[in-house]
Amino acid sequence: MTANWYTRLAFLAAALAFVVVVLGAYTRISDAGLGCPDWPACYGHITVPDTHAAIAKVDQQYPDRPVQPAKAWKEMIHRYFAGTLGLAILALAIIACVRRRREAAQPIGLPLALVALVIFQAALGMWTVTLLLRPTIVMGHLLGGMTILSLLWLLALRSAGVLKLGDTWEADWPRWLALAGLVVLACQIALGGWTSSNYAAYACPDFPTCQGQWWPQMDFKDAFVLWHQAGIDFQGGILSNSARAAIHVT
């Protein structure tokens, strides 16, 4: 495999990762995160049950989660694309280690790190369902997706020769400023995931004020509790309005 084909595959994987992130967001805002109560199957099927007899049967098996085909398909389509992305990343790692390992410009550690990361991301996807949309897991799943997208883009740029492995990092002020911006961006993405997973998006229906005030009643103590007791169903959120307002204002 030539470097040109490897670069194309890397860019294709990055584009696919972007699609997976968007589909994940769409699944989330469509309230379809629990469209399939099991993982990786959907009500024990590879696809969503589509006949009345099948739906009636699985409804008996999952009385608390009756089949909603529209939501289940959104979740499964997201899983199909995520699975395809995992195979693309695995292919990049195998090609890098087997076919191109002797090429000086070929990154090896980065594709292997992506394989480890996508495996952990799959585990987060499973825990998102089995732990009933626990906010910390949902936020971690978002950050994992963005990290995979970023690293695939980095791999594609390195494969294309835009960034070279031997480049040194000079600590001049524009680079420090860019690094600071990256940290702030990561924090803002995490806060966005936390806002969504705690259903705090509508805690402040107005802007730039919140509930008609510059400093509304807010409960910061409960707003950022990272872990709650087991068995809680987080669909719809469990926080008070003041805690959700604290998340949104932050």
The tally of CA atoms less than 13 A away on the side-chain side of residue 213 is: 9
Q: What are the beta bridge partners of residue 213?
A: 210
Distance between start and end Cα atoms, the chain: 49
- The secondary structure of the chain in percent helix, strand, coil, rounded to multiples of 5, reads 60, 0, 35
Q: Which residue has the tokens 């194309």?
A: 8
* Burial of residue 73, with CB atoms counted within 10 A of its CB: 0-12 exposed, 13-18 middle, 19 or more buried: middle
CA distance 227 to 77: 29
CA distance 119 to 24: 17
- Among 107, 109, 129, which residue's Cα sits nearest to residue 117? 109
CA distance 127 to 137: 7
- Among 218, 221, 199, which residue's Cα sits nearest to residue 210? 218
Residues recognised as catalytic: 75
Q: What are the beta bridge partners of residue 205?
A: none
